[in-house]
């Protein structure tokens, strides 16, 4: 038996029902499995012997309350984009330094903090879209409404996203991702991350 981990917030689509069995912290809707809580996705595969060859992996979401994260300057934040304007990107922070938050909090990426070069000419809508999952760094505690975030480092930016057609996007460069179904290319500020961080969950999406 083995497992892999990823992060999600309530309402995230995890995979089609024919690819896995819904476990704790998830629910089924319209032939897909969704997250019902914010936390760590755990994908558990069963013994693939001949007697169990038809068994599907079990996908669950676990809230790790035993080691709650606290947002602080310098921390890495896992975020879900909620709104994009001409001046900034609004996000919902759901994990800090690989530890899910008990209660998601708000973050904001200003246009000047999206990239390290050509800061004044950056167009927010060509870098992020609503529902993108982003890895960012907290650079200021901001105000009462939101933490101030940055994706200027090359290893920060979009780590998971879906195309206009609703399919998974795959990175093709540091500024483009392609739809897995239509092969249409979309602009993003793509994070440079190790492939093994997303390979296992990508097999299901």
Q: For residue range 92-131, list pLDDT tens digits in order.
A: 998 888 777 878 899 999 999 999 888 778 999 999 999 9
Which token pair is 138?
């907290």
Burial of 181 (0-12, 13-18, 19+ CB in 10 A): exposed
- Where is pLDDT greater, at 157 or 13? 157
Are the CB atoms for 149 and 107 separated by under 8 Å?
yes
What's phi and psi for 126, nearest 5 deg?
-95, 0
pTM for the model stands at: 0.68
Cα–Cα distance for residue pair 162/170, rounded to 1 Å:
9
Residues in the chain: 205
Instruction: Please give the domain boundaries of the chain with CATH numbers for all domains.
Output: 7-62 (2.40.50.100), 75-203 (2.40.50.140)
What lies within 8 Å, CB to CB, of 69 at 6+ separation is 75, 95, 96, 97, 99, 100, 101
Is there a contact between 36 and 61 (Cβ–Cβ < 8 Å)? yes
Could you tell me which of 110, 129, 106, 121 has the C-alpha nearest to residue 177? 129
Q: What is the rounded CA–CA span in Å between residue 170 and residue 41?
A: 20
Q: Which of 116, 185, 120 is nearest to 157 (CA)?
A: 116
Q: What is the mean pLDDT of residues 147-167?
A: 90
Secondary structure (DSSP) of 108-152 = EEEGGGT-SSSGGG--GGGT--TT-EEEEEEEE---SS-EEEE--
**Coil, helix or strand for 201?**
helix
**Tell me: the pLDDT tens digits for 15-61?**
889 889 999 889 988 888 988 877 788 888 766 554 545 678 899 88
């Amino acid at each position: 038996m083995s497992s892999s981990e990823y992060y999600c917030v309530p309402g995230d689509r995890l995979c089609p029902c024919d690819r896995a069995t819904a476990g704790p912290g998830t629910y089924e809707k319209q032939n897909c499995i969704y997250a019902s809580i914010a936390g760590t996705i755990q994908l558990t595969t069963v013994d693939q012997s001949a007697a169990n060859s038809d068994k599907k992996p079990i996908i669950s979401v676990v809230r790790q309350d035993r080691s709650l994260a606290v947002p602080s300057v310098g921390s890495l934040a896992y975020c879900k984009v909620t709104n994009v304007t001409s001046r900034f990107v609004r996000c919902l922070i759901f994990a800090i330094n690989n530890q899910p938050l008990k209660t998601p909090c708000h973050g904001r990426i200003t246009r000047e903090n999206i990239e390290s070069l050509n800061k004044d000419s950056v167009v927010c809508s060509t870098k992020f879209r609503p529902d993108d999952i982003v890895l960012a760094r907290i650079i200021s505690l901001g105000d009462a409404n939101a933490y101030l975030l940055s994706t200027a480092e090359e290893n920060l930016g979009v780590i998971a996203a879906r195309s206009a057609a609703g399919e998974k996007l795959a990175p093709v460069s540091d500024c483009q991702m392609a739809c897995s179904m239509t092969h249409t290319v979309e602009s993003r500020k793509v994070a440079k991350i190790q492939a093994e961080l997303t390979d296992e969950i990508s097999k299901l999406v």
